[in-house]
Amino acid sequence: MASPKADITASVLKWARNSAGLNNEEAARRLRVKQEKLSAWENGEDQPTIKQLRRIGSLYKRPVSVFYLAEEPVGFQVMRDLRRLPGTGLREFSPALVYEMRLAQQRRELAIELYEDIEERPPQFSIQAGLEENPESLGARVRNALELTYGEQVRWGEPRIAFNSLRDRIERLGVLVFQMTRVESDEASGFALAEHILPAIAINRKDVWSRRAFSLLHEFVHLMLRVSGASDLDVNAARPPEDARVEIFCNHVAAAALLPQEHFLAEAIVQNAGTATQEWPDEQIEELARLYGVSREAVVRRLLTFGRATDAFYRRKRGQYAAEHKARREAERTKAADKEFRRNPARDVVLDNGKPFVRLVLNNYHQDRITLSEVSGYLGVRVKHLPRIEMTVGSA
pLDDT at 336: 61
The amino acid present at 270, given as its one-letter code, is: V
Q: 10 Å Cβ neighbour count for 94?
A: 16
Q: What homologous superfamily does CATH list for 10-68?
A: lambda repressor-like DNA-binding domains (1.10.260.40)
Query: Within 10 Å of residue 275's Cβ, how many Cβ atoms?
Result: 11
- The per-residue pLDDT for 277 is 79
Cβ count near 215 (within 10 Å) = 25
φ/ψ of residue 354, rounded to 5: 90, 145
- pLDDT reported for residue 82: 61
Q: Residue 276 has what DSSP assignment? A: S
How many other C-beta atoms can be found within 10 angstroms of the C-beta atom of residue 223? 25
- Successive 10-residue mean pLDDT values, the chain, 396 residues: 76 88 92 94 91 87 72 59 53 80 87 89 93 97 97 91 96 97 87 93 94 95 92 62 83 96 95 87 95 93 94 92 84 64 81 95 92 84 90 72
* DSSP letter string, 190-224: EEEE--SBS-EEEEETTS-HHHHHHHHHHHHHHHH
pLDDT score of 396 = 38
**What pLDDT, on the 0 to 100 scale, is given for residue 274?**
85
Q: Where is 257: in which H helix or E strand?
A: helix 241-258
Buried/exposed 291-320: b ≥16 CB within 10 Å, e otherwise:
bbbbbbbbbbbbbbbeebbeeebbeebbee
pLDDT at 76: 47
The pLDDT of residue 150 is: 96
Identify the architecture of domain 79-258 in CATH.
Orthogonal Bundle (1.10)
pLDDT score, position 352: 94
| Residues near 67 by beta carbon (within 8 Å), at least 6 away in sequence | 6, 8, 9, 12, 13, 16, 53, 56, 57
**Can you give the residue ranges of every domain in the chain?**
10-68, 79-258, 275-334, 345-394
Residue 18 pLDDT: 87
Crossing angle of helices 209-225 and 135-145, in 10° steps, is 100
